Structure 1
């Protein structure tokens, strides 16, 4: 397990000097899905040469991960070896354990993947469409988007920068439901109203039924005072797509905060 500069825990498998992380897991999943290294690289917006180079580096440390077949009567392609599948399973178990023990609260929204653009996915949820880095999902998949409280920026209502002026394209309006005060960091709870019509057409049931969905944001004491954050005040939330993750889910899982 490693820790990001922002203090978020992340899963990493290490063998010698080589580390297997989320980007590597995404690549293996996409190879398994498409049956081709070239197709996987294209789907993820990476070059085939770079994908092959990364696979070779991983295989030097972890063993044979991808079986590559040349064209012939049955056609060419690639598939994961038993070692590759076991490595991916190990990583998934570690990633789940890290997520379960993470100290930074998250909001998890359920929905349906509507668009894929390289490594970015757009998920339609009961409170809008949001973009995030995806882990091998496809258009039409039921999925979740995880938004860490430390990735959310609060603004005064109506004072959100224009989309072209910031990289934080995900945005919402809400009402402060409460503030949990720490010595130097405040956890702000923000209620955002869910859709009253049952959510997006064709999407999964998030379980909100129009109920408010609670987001959390971390603020320093100074920032909380500057924004005059208190229960009942209206605020705007923004967060970067690169600070969120879209992962495969199961239809019917509720929208929740943790």
Structure 2
């Protein structure tokens, strides 16, 4: 049976302020009255414990631990009232956090699928086109593998990745994956049955929007399968193809221009 787990932590000015490990260090310092002894209790090096205390003191804006230097063998240490309040707050929040995880596990028959969807939304990348799908097949080669990815609406993408990357990603039929495609790697053409291209991916759709710039234009294409891809083309090409909203086009993408990724478990 799969379970949902999570960790709680604090941040200050974008830096990690502390989580369970650092709060545990504070608790042990309070109990032992010594940073060295507390470090041994939590399985942390003496140097690492001092660095953690310094970081917490700096980020808190006021001391959390007061020390009297006594050498590597000891030295007294005592928590300030602020540190004790921090421990109480963290322990209270951690109890609420654990309760939240229990409730999350019970909100759906298969909550992990909803979490997977949320994780996709939180993914950040500079590639304008991010298409989720399922690996349909992997044809292995000595250097490169050809990966076919089924995406929304029954359409299929073909990507070429190195064999090493394919192995590292664990690509196999049925595995959830995603394709990243830079907008500048998407070419646009007009439907023409007589036109033959070497590009493996030729996806039909229609223009959903056009944003013209001084030199280049951004063109959104609603694929027949439901996905939307964005292409960056020159204004000259935009005018030559007479592209505007509703015009039927073909999004052309070379297999080598597609980056394949998987979601960490």
TM-score, reference length from structure 1: 0.46
Give the structure with the larger helix fraction: 2
Give the structure with the larger strand fraction: 1
Structure index of larger Rg: 2
Asked which structure has the greater RCO (Cα within 8 Å, sep 6+), the reply is 1
TM-score, reference length from structure 2: 0.45
